[in-house]
């Protein structure tokens, strides 16, 4: 990792989040992956923003889209980059929630996508859906905060999907990285998706037939004493039933 990126995780860590009171930073190993894998001139996108934004700008990407509704967060990133001599010309902030922006966005072809915005259900899946087919074959899909159930499910899905190769499943449980192997991503049916197939294999669902009470059973349910007769019979034999 180059010195400018390493300093963001050690001695020169800026305050970017929660009114510039803290930094909800990515794992240092994810910062190292971004620094060592992304090349200058590439096009990247992330949902959310923070140290990852600064690392990607320091690499010298040609265009970086950061989708975050927090304008002050981006202002803090710009100020921190200025202090450290990191150019920000490539940064295109989108001040909207990703689930609002991405469905109508005309995205360029992407070399890397980092899903690290709103982690509440179903936002990470929306982020993935609207960026996966804009990612180039050979490009990287990064899922941060896989210790949370939404990130973990998304990572588990890609882990067994033949359209992706798992490059990193970090032992901390904090993030996972997948390389896109083929295009398009969104084709086929659920039976072509191993994660869904393994969770609910074909033939595992059984529809239970329910016998409708006949006229005699309905009549008895109306006339038999409830407490003395029907309650004990229904508790033991589920009879007589009512519609």
pLDDT in tens, 38-66: 999 999 999 999 999 999 999 999 999 99
Angle formed by the axes of helices 149-160 and 123-132, nearest 10°? 40
Asked if the peptide bond before residue 8 counts as cis, ω within 30 degrees of 0, the response is no
What mean pLDDT value characterizes the chain? Answer: 88
Question: Above 60 in pLDDT, residue 176?
Answer: yes
How many angstroms separate the CA atoms of 40 and 24, rounded?
Answer: 25
Which tokens sit at 112? 């890397």
Query: In this predicted structure, which of 205-209, 220-224, 230-234 has the lowest mean pLDDT?
Result: 205-209
Question: Above 80 in pLDDT, residue 240?
Answer: no
Task: Say which residue the tokens 């300093």 belong to.
Answer: 7
Average pLDDT rounded to a whole number, residues 130-159: 97
Question: Above 60 in pLDDT, residue 243?
Answer: no
> Where are the extended beta strands (E) located within the chain?
43-47, 63-67, 91-94, 110-115, 135-144, 164-169, 175-180
Question: What pTM does this model have?
Answer: 0.80
Contact of 67 with 96, CB cutoff 8 Å: yes
Extents of the domains making up the chain: 3-199, 210-243
Give, in degrees to the nearest 5, the angle at Cα 39 between 35 and 42. Answer: 120
Fold classified for 3-199: Rossmann fold (3.40.50)
Contact of 174 with 30, CB cutoff 8 Å: yes
Residue range 180-218, pLDDT digits in tens = 999 999 988 888 888 988 776 555 545 555 666 677 767
């Amino acid at each position: 990792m180059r010195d400018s990126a390493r300093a963001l995780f050690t001695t020169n860590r800026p305050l970017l989040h929660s009114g510039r009171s803290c930094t909800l930073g990515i794992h240092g190993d994810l910062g190292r992956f971004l620094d060592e894998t992304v090349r200058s001139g590439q096009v990247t996108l992330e949902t959310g923003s923070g140290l990852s934004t600064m690392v990607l700008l320091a690499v010298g990407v040609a265009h970086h889209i950061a989708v975050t509704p927090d304008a002050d967060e981006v202002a803090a990133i710009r100020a921190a980059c200025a202090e450290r001599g990191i150019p920000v010309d490539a940064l295109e902030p989108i001040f909207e929630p990703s689930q609002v922006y991405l469905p109508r966005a005309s995205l360029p072809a992407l070399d890397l996508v980092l899903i690290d915005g709103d982690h509440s259900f179903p936002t990470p899946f929306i982020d993935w859906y609207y960026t996966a087919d804009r990612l180039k074959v050979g490009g990287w899909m990064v899922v941060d905060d896989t210790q949370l159930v939404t990130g973990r499910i998304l990572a588990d899905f890609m882990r067994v999907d033949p359209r992706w190769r798992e490059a990193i499943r970090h032992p901390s449980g904090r993030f996972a990285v997948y390389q896109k192997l083929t295009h398009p991503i969104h084709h086929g049916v659920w039976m072509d998706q191993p994660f869904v197939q393994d969770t609910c294999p074909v033939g595992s669902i059984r529809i239970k037939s329910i016998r409708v009470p006949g006229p005699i059973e309905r009549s008895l349910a109306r006339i038999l004493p409830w407490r003395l007769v029907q309650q004990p019979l229904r508790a033991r034999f589920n009879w007589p039933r009512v519609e």
